[in-house]
Structure 1
Amino acid sequence: MPPDDAVCSVVIPAYNAAHVIGDQLLALSEQEEAPAFEVVVADNGSTDDLASVVGSWTDRLPRLRVVDASRGRGVSVARNVGIDHASTDRILICDADDVVAPTWVRAFADALVEHPLASGPAETRRLSGPSAGWVPIEERSTGLYETWGGRTYGLGGNTAMRREVWETVGGYDEDFPAGAEEIDFAWRAWDLGYRFTYVEDALLHYRIRTDLRGVLRQQYNSGRGTATLYDKFRPAEVVPKSLARRVHHELLLLRRFPWRLDGGARRRWLTLVAFEAGKLVEARRLGSPAP
């Protein structure tokens, strides 16, 4: 029996997130017209005081608990462990460093009555400030994200699903590089007939890293994930670049360095370089042509 008859479970993967998770827990404690829900924080082996910070919120979130997700490193491990420990069949996933809107739980809980898989919009400006403009991500999304062949997906940290979807798909691939693991999950779900529905009121305030090194690492990992995705699925509509085309592509990128523009433009250029580097490095490691 779910705790206190909770009808849905919010799963939060977390690693050394003591300094930011309070904002997310505050947002969850202020949900409007939400059904009873539990919060499961899946601790991926934190070395900070995450457990004590989370424990300080149990008076405002009485169905809040921490579970041990340290059997392996990575967000996919933490999501899988958190979902496995959830007490209900309606699973809502968010990240420790983001902030959900007041209507988030209600919107997703309602959507899962009719739909097995859902996602909502994300905006980046509130938590990120100027760094929101450094990365090739919309500052306010207006629909699901599209990939090759029109396949759609939602952000991993703004996803809701019935437990049957997670079980049928086989969970998140724990060997997949961070940065595209949610696309891999969405593609496998797509092949099994599951489709995302878009829930406008399930808004997420998404945090872009404000330090350049963190942003570049994030984009490098996204490039690795893209190469892994292509190697795993090999979509027919994606034609790998020949060596000549690849060299031409990279030379064009180098030529576009914004010599005379502001620092923001240079940071945006560096994020593109980091993404391309991650894609090429991972493709070479896999022995697969890069898309």
Structure 2
Amino acid sequence: MTVSAVIPVRDLGELLEGALASLEAQSVPVDEVVLVDDGPSATIPEDPSRYRVVRSGGVGPYAARNLGWRAATGDVVLFLDARSRPRPRWAGELAALLAREGVGLAGCDVHVVAGRSLASRVAALEQPFALGDYVGRAWFRPYLATCSLAVRREVLEATGGFAATRSGADADLCWRAQDLGWRLEAVPEVLLDWLPRDSCRDLLEQHYRYGRSNTHLRRAWAAAGAQQPVVPTWPAVARMAALAGMRTVYAVLRRREDRLLHSLVEAARVATRLGVRRAVAEASALTPAAPATGPTTGPTTSEAA
């Protein structure tokens, strides 16, 4: 089995070097690395001794991954991103899972690393890529995030790869592959670390995308039995936002970093609920049917990226 790694990249030069160094330190070498330069203009220099570059012109992360795996030659395609830091056994362990009969998708537990910024420490507190949330306690069917996902080439060819959406296409691919009879398996231990964003704005925007993508996924898979979204009312969202704001002010005034982190987690949950409401509004523009309203625990995350 030959193994290719695909990384979509958009203006993340410094982060990319760390991902490449981690791939080069694998105990079982990766046969090739394909970088998809997804910026509107070429930003990644050519380096044939380390990787090949595919230029997308800025098609978005999942469409870029499709360009990457189609350009790759491996029997196994490892998907990761510039924030991924695979540990030395990562490539070998995931490829070994895919060598088993009937296994088409493989992954592992992922640890989000806390940095110095508040946003990174919030992400580390949440651990959004914990394997249990994707496999053990999946809200519909098990799936794996593309910050650490291995797929057989024949699965990608049979499914056509990822849907060209901004977020949530990892779950959709995993579910379509399972519909075709392929199994998903995962190594239960942490084999990859992931570096979160440093900006609180980026953190909130990420959660907003989670809310949108999860809601669209639920609607797209409704006929297969996916539980439909329960949409929070505007008063409920406003109360959550006000409470998060007050707790943030209190934490800052008291210089309580622990409380500040938890208040920012609440703010991220508000952003998620706003994403849910946005997705429902988008769907309502296409169909008159509207889901019930009420409290919600919020959707599970699905991207890296």
**TM-score for the superposition, normalised by structure 1:** 0.83
CA–CA distance in 1 between the matches of 2:268 and 2:216?
Answer: 19
Q: Indicate conservation of the 8 Å contact 1:121/1:202, yes or no.
A: yes
CA–CA distance in 1 between the matches of 2:226 and 2:116?
Answer: 35
Aligned to 1:153, what secondary structure does the other structure show?
coil
CA–CA distance in 2 between the matches of 1:140 and 1:89?
Answer: 26
Residue 130 (structure 2) pairs with residue 141 (structure 1) = yes
- The aligned counterpart of 2:61 is 75
CA–CA distance in 2 between the matches of 1:128 and 1:95?
Answer: 21
Aligned to 1:269, what secondary structure does the other structure show?
helix
2:213 maps to which of 218, 225, 232: 225
Correspondence 1:79-118 to 2 at 5 A: 79-114=65-100, 115-118=103-106
Aligned to 1:198, what secondary structure does the other structure show?
strand
Aligned to 1:51, what secondary structure does the other structure show?
coil
CA–CA distance in 1 between the matches of 2:276 and 2:228?
Answer: 15
- Distance of aligned partners of 1:38 and 1:31 in 2 relative to their CA distance in 1, 3 Å threshold: same
Correspondence 1:198-217 to 2 at 5 A: 198-200=186-188, 203-217=191-205
CA–CA distance in 1 between the matches of 2:186 and 2:105?
Answer: 9
Q: Indicate conservation of the 8 Å contact 1:108/1:202, yes or no.
A: no
After alignment, is 105-114 or 249-258 more displaced? 249-258
- Give the C-alpha shift of residue 128 in structure 1: 7.0
- Give the C-alpha shift of residue 206 in structure 1: 1.2
Query: Which whole-Å deviations, capped at 9, do the CAs of 1:122-176 have from their partners, x for residues lacking one?
Result: 1012557653442473278354614333x111111100011111111221000x2
- What are structure 1's unaligned runs of at least 5 residues? 1-5
- What are structure 2's unaligned runs of at least 5 residues? 252-258, 297-305
- Distance of aligned partners of 1:191 and 1:49 in 2 relative to their CA distance in 1, 3 Å threshold: same
Q: Indicate conservation of the 8 Å contact 1:90/1:109, yes or no.
A: yes
Residue 31 (structure 2) pairs with residue 37 (structure 1) = yes
Correspondence 1:47-196 to 2 at 5 A: 47=41, 49-51=43-45, 55=47, 59=49, 61=50, 64-70=51-57, 72-114=58-100, 115-125=103-113, 130-135=118-123, 137-138=126-127, 141-143=130-132, 145=134, 146-149=137-140, 151-174=141-164, 176-178=165-167, 180-196=168-184
- The aligned counterpart of 1:238 is 227
- Distance of aligned partners of 1:65 and 1:77 in 2 relative to their CA distance in 1, 3 Å threshold: same
- The aligned counterpart of 2:263 is 266
Q: Which amino acid aligns with 2:233?
A: R
- Distance of aligned partners of 1:158 and 1:129 in 2 relative to their CA distance in 1, 3 Å threshold: farther
- Give the C-alpha shift of residue 237 in structure 1: 5.8
Aligned residues: 272
Aligned to 1:50, what secondary structure does the other structure show?
coil
Residue 7 (structure 2) pairs with residue 21 (structure 1) = no
- Give the C-alpha shift of residue 204 in structure 1: 1.6
Q: Indicate conservation of the 8 Å contact 2:98/2:152, yes or no.
A: yes
Q: Indicate conservation of the 8 Å contact 2:83/2:196, yes or no.
A: no
- Give the C-alpha shift of residue 248 in structure 1: 6.3
Aligned to 2:195, what secondary structure does the other structure show?
coil
Q: Which amino acid aligns with 1:230?
A: R
CA–CA distance in 2 between the matches of 1:102 and 1:129?
Answer: 27
Structural RMSD (CA): 2.7
Q: Indicate conservation of the 8 Å contact 2:204/2:271, yes or no.
A: yes
CA–CA distance in 2 between the matches of 1:90 and 1:239?
Answer: 34
**TM-score for the superposition, normalised by structure 2:** 0.79
- Give the C-alpha shift of residue 78 in structure 1: 0.9
Query: Which whole-Å deviations, capped at 9, do the CAs of 1:244-270 have from their partners, x for residues lacking one?
Result: x73564355346425234332232121
Aligned to 1:106, what secondary structure does the other structure show?
helix
